[in-house]
Amino acid sequence: MFCVIEVSELTKRYGPKTAVDELSFTVRPGRVTGFLGPNGAGKTTTLRILLGLVRPTAGTATVLGRPFRDRPRGLRDVGALLDAGDVHGGRTARGHLRFLARGNGLPRGRVEEVLDEVGLTDAAGRRIAGYSLRMRQRLGIAAALLGDPPVLVFDEPLNGLDPEGVWWVRGLFRRLADEGRTVFVSSHLMSEMENTADDLVVIGRGALVAAEPLAAFAARAAAPVVTVRTPEPEALGALLTAEGASVERGGTTGPEQEANELSVAGLSVTELSVSGLSEARIAEVALRHGLLILQLTPRTPSLEAAFRELTADHVEHRTTPLAPPPAADSHHPGGPA
Amino acid sequence: MSTVTDRRSDPHPRDIDPRPTHPRFTDLLAAEWLKLWSLRSTPWTLGLVLAGVVAFNAAMAWDTYRYWTYDDPGEAERYISDGIPFHEAFNANAALCFMLAVAAVGAVTVVGEYGTGLIRTTFVAVPARRSLLGAKVLVVSAVTTVLGGCAALGSFLLTQAILSGRGVGVSLGHPGAWRVVLASALIAPVCALFGMAVGVILRHTATTLALTFGVLVVLPPAFSEERHWSAVVNHAQPFMAWNRLTDVPYEPAAHPWSTAGAWSVYAVWALVAAAVTVLVPHRRDR
């Protein structure tokens, strides 16, 4: 398959610190690809290497088959928004876009078109220093669209946007991808990518964690799991495993903690986390073998939780949670398969 | 509203991309020109530098005119033959101020981009960094040469018009007059290029300006003309070269040097600074 962006064995070290660690992945055209990782995972460094701003220690990153630095007219090949602050506040938005367009031999009218497209026409004559973050993001997107490029790269484009802005950017990415372009978008929040990306590239501590379609990632990492509470964990667990489920044993509560409405007193109850079987099948198996089930609760962990679990080992600076984590997090299917 | 074209039918842009792969240098020149003049501070700064330098020189000539005490026509003749009208056409203090101001203008064209982060936007838009900085070097050189020309010619004409009120003004036809004007004009691009070169190396506004000013102002008096090696270092400074070129007539010191030597100091500083500006960012991260 033709891949527009190809990153191969990419490594970048800053002294003893490894920012990007033998990273390899590809990005395909016609899709929005989310580039996910916790803060400090090496996303920005990777994007900067991809765009020729930083030299890799080892490995290669190519766009349309060549290193970006070999492409003299950058805007016509790749539109990029790395940091909305990468502008000179003394210029007007129009002045900023005009010199960018001129350097790539783009017609002046193109500036007005992209200003219109991002809704900055009315503010285009004002100096950027007076712009809000949201307006700067729009200006950065306008600059990325200027050269009508087949490849677009955005570093944390949803940061600082209000809900309306997020909705607009999502629609824009969708449209750009539907036009056959390659859209590569970084974020540190899965919740931002969940409704935006078709494909995911997940990294942690500079290394690849996952690279697959969002749907596959969801099916794999966030498979539904059923919580079963039973006084007969060994027997039920063995039966369910035989049915093809994977079973994880949770905590056991003694008889004194159980509600006294049970006719059989003095039972200790164990919690099982079962994945790979629906709750209906679990109930059926239990009934067929006469095993008592006290609770049967299906849960679907959030993608955000799955992402956090996957990258937990790769987080740079982790904080110790003050409060117990929310319920969805405490019922994990047992980490990455 | 949108003018983007449908690429669904074209999943392999690599194979049939008809776009030119080489940047047109004229596009880059035009872009740098736009970049310079789209900052409101540019015309203000250049205008103030020009007005300030011409006013500085005119003030000194006015001082001479105002406190002129010689009534003997022979005094006026000696005044001219000693080349003092040339010294007033562009006095040394005005020249130093002009050098620093223009060096700062050159430096800011570079560190202004690094300091704001705009340099990343610029490099992503035009990955061919040597061509890009070559265009910037040419645009800044051209603009500061015109600025220097206006400052030197304006100062010359205004000061000599003031001095002619005492019969000691000279015309552009006077021997050596054009050399004085040219040397004062061309010190501008030399200093601007030096500021740019320091800027691409340090990439930080305050340190760039400090080093630029330090080298231009502090180095010349630090090396005396008495010993040979020290005189060579002294003569290699742009300000001393300017001094040599505007000294008409020249009175040879212990280690005399030619105007050709002084012109070559201009040339070497300008060329080395231009080369540094064009080549250094190509090798660097960012």
For residue A329, is it within any domain?
no
Closest CA of chain A from B98, distance in Å: 24
Contact A102 B30 (CB under 8 A): yes
From A64, A53, A43, A332, select the one nearest A201 (Cα to Cα): A43
Cα distance between residue A288 and residue A320, in whole Å: 45
pLDDT at B226: 86
What is the band of A250 on the pLDDT scale with cuts at 50, 70, 90? confident
Closest CA of chain B from A304, distance in Å: 31
Cα distance between residue A125 and residue A98, in whole Å: 12
Cα distance between residue A106 and residue A90, in whole Å: 23
Closest residue in B to A73 (Cα) is: B126
The structure tokens listed for B253 are 């010191």
- Sign for the CA dihedral angle at A113, A119, A124, A130 comes to negative
Total count of residues recorded for chain A? 337
pTM surpassing 0.95? no
CATH number at residue A231: 3.30.70
Burial of A23 (0-12, 13-18, 19+ CB in 10 A): buried
> What is the mean predicted confidence (pLDDT) over B110-139?
95
Q: Please check whether residues A147 and A239 belong to one and the same domain.
A: no
Residue of A64, A104, A145 with shortest CB distance to B125 = A104
What is the band of A327 on the pLDDT scale with cuts at 50, 70, 90? very low
pLDDT at residue A243 greater than cutoff 70: yes
Pairing of the two strands A151-155 and A246-253 = unpaired
pLDDT at residue A285 greater than cutoff 60: yes
Cβ contact A270:A231 at 8 Å: yes
Q: Please check whether residues A86 and A187 belong to one and the same domain.
A: yes
Contact A88 B34 (CB under 8 A): no
Residue of B30, B39, B286 with shortest CB distance to A53 = B286
Q: Using a CB–CB cutoff of 8 Å, tell me whether B69 touches chain A.
A: no
Q: What is the value of ipTM here, to two decimals?
A: 0.87
For residue A316, is it within any domain?
no
pLDDT at residue B176 greater than cutoff 70: yes
Q: Please check whether residues A57 and A73 belong to one and the same domain.
A: yes
> What is the mean predicted confidence (pLDDT) over A138-166?
92
Q: Please check whether residues A115 and A169 belong to one and the same domain.
A: yes
Cα distance between residue A123 and residue B185, in whole Å: 40
Q: Please check whether residues A145 and A238 belong to one and the same domain.
A: no
Q: Please check whether residues A174 and A277 belong to one and the same domain.
A: no
Q: Using a CB–CB cutoff of 8 Å, tell me whether A6 touches chain B.
A: no
pLDDT at A1: 55
Q: Using a CB–CB cutoff of 8 Å, tell me whether B128 touches chain A.
A: yes
What is the band of B5 on the pLDDT scale with cuts at 50, 70, 90? very low
pLDDT at A246: 86
Cβ contacts below 8 Å, chain A against chain B, sum to: 154
Contact B11 A73 (CB under 8 A): no
The CA-atom distances, in angstroms, between B257 and each of A219, B132, B271 are 82, 38, 21
Q: Please check whether residues A150 and A232 belong to one and the same domain.
A: no
Q: Using a CB–CB cutoff of 8 Å, tell me whether A115 touches chain B.
A: no
What is the band of B20 on the pLDDT scale with cuts at 50, 70, 90? low
Q: Using a CB–CB cutoff of 8 Å, tell me whether B18 touches chain A.
A: no
Contact A96 B117 (CB under 8 A): no
CATH number at residue A105: 3.40.50.300
What is the band of B15 on the pLDDT scale with cuts at 50, 70, 90? very low
Q: Where do runs of H (alpha helix) occur along chain B?
A: 13-16, 25-37, 41-66, 73-81, 84-89, 92-116, 118-125, 129-163, 177-202, 205-213, 219-222, 228-235, 238-246, 259-283
User: Per residue in B80-103, pLDDT tens?
Assistant: 999 999 999 999 999 999 999 999
Neighbours of B81 (CB within 10 A): 9
pLDDT at B285: 83
Q: Using a CB–CB cutoff of 8 Å, tell me whether A90 touches chain B.
A: yes
pLDDT at B35: 96
pLDDT at residue B124 greater than cutoff 90: yes
- Sign for the CA dihedral angle at B96, B99, B102, B104 comes to negative
Which DSSP helix (H) or strand (E) runs through A81?
strand A78-81
Q: Please check whether residues A148 and A112 belong to one and the same domain.
A: yes
Closest CA of chain A from B130, distance in Å: 10
Spell out the domain ranges in chain B: 41-283
Beta-carbon contacts of residue A329 (< 8 Å; ≥ 6 apart): A301, A305, A308, A309
pLDDT at A332: 42
Q: Please check whether residues A36 and A114 belong to one and the same domain.
A: yes
Cα distance between residue B193 and residue B133, in whole Å: 12
Contact A86 B126 (CB under 8 A): no
**Phi, psi angles (nearest 5°) of residue A96:** -60, -50
Contact A105 B117 (CB under 8 A): no
Task: Report how many domains make up chain A.
Answer: 2
For residue A180, is it within any domain?
yes
A28: left (phi over 0), alpha (psi -120 to 50) or beta: beta
Q: Please check whether residues A148 and A180 belong to one and the same domain.
A: yes
Residue A269, domain extent: 225-257+264-299
Peptide bond into B73 cis (omega under 30): no
Residues 216-235 of B with CB under 8 A from A: none
> What is the mean predicted confidence (pLDDT) over B169-176?
94
Q: Using a CB–CB cutoff of 8 Å, tell me whether A98 touches chain B.
A: yes
Q: Please check whether residues A99 and A240 belong to one and the same domain.
A: no
pLDDT at B13: 44
From A180, A177, A160, A217, select the one nearest A36 (Cα to Cα): A217
From A201, A127, A120, A206, select the one nearest A165 (Cα to Cα): A120
User: Per residue in A168-197, pLDDT tens?
Assistant: 999 999 999 999 999 999 999 888 888 889
What are the DSSP calls for A54-68, one per residue?
A: S--SEEEEEETTB-G
Q: Using a CB–CB cutoff of 8 Å, tell me whether A104 touches chain B.
A: yes
pLDDT at residue B28 greater than cutoff 60: yes
Q: Please check whether residues A87 and A231 belong to one and the same domain.
A: no
Cβ contact A288:A240 at 8 Å: no
Which one has a higher pLDDT value, A301 or B44?
Answer: B44
